[in-house]
């Protein structure tokens, strides 16, 4: 089976385009300009991670949503459990941008923070 994809290396500002192909499980990586890019591409394939962005509910009204994100990427295989945890959160307004909403999500050493300020006066901008 052949799997191919292209990624942009995010390790340094050069942003090399790296092609990754897997033919019968054998990995071929091209396009990187240094070993860090090669390591990054391997990590993308072997331990996929992604940023999680979502919303949480205000405690007094679940229609009011507060936009949040993880402070860094988390393993893709933890996303479902992370969403379950975040969905259960209720936050009292006001919330300030950067405020920690969930500390140490799933013991991943990652916090969930608000990406905007939401007050009782501007919450209409954040309705679901
Ligand atoms: S492959 Fe190397 S040079 Fe290219 S973006 Fe990644 S770290 Fe930078």
- Tokens 């292209």 sit on residue: 6
Rounded CA separation 107/53 (Å): 18
> Going by C-beta distance under 8 Å and a sequence separation of 6 or more, which residues neighbour residue 39?
none
Whether 53-126 and 2-47 are alike in CATH topology: the answer is no
* Number of other CB atoms surrounding residue 85 within 10 Å: 14
Q: Which two tokens stand for residue 84?
A: 């379950």
The domain ranges of the chain are 2-47, 53-126
- CA–centroid distance, residue 73 to ligand 1 (Å): 19
Task: Say whether domain 2-47 belongs to CATH 2.20.25.
Answer: yes
Q: Is the pTM of this model over 0.85?
A: no
Nearest CA to ligand 1 atom 3: 33
- CA–centroid distance, residue 109 to ligand 1 (Å): 26
Q: Give residue ranges with CB within 6 A of ligand 1.
A: 9, 11-12, 14-16, 32-34, 36-37
**pLDDT of the chain, 128 residues: tens digit per residue:** 778 899 999 899 999 999 999 988 899 999 999 999 999 999 989 899 999 999 999 998 888 999 999 999 999 999 999 999 999 999 999 999 999 999 999 999 999 999 999 987 776 665 55
Fold of 53-126: CPE0013-like fold (3.10.530)
Q: Which two tokens stand for residue 14?
A: 């050069």
């Amino acid at each position: 089976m052949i799997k191919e994809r292209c990624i942009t290396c995010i390790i340094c500002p050069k942003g090399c385009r790296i092609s990754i192909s897997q033919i019968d499980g054998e990995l071929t990586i091209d396009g990187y300009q240094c070993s860090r890019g090669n390591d990054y591409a391997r990590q993308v394939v072997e331990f996929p991670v992604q940023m999680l962005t979502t919303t949480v509910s205000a405690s007094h009204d679940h229609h009011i949503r507060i936009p949040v994100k993880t402070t860094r990427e988390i393993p893709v295989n933890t996303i479902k459990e992370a969403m379950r945890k975040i969905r259960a959160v209720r936050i009292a307004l006001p919330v300030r941008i950067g405020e920690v909403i969930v500390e140490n999500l799933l013991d991943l050493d990652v916090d969930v923070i608000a990406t905007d300020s939401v007050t009782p006066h501007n919450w209409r901008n954040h309705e679901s």
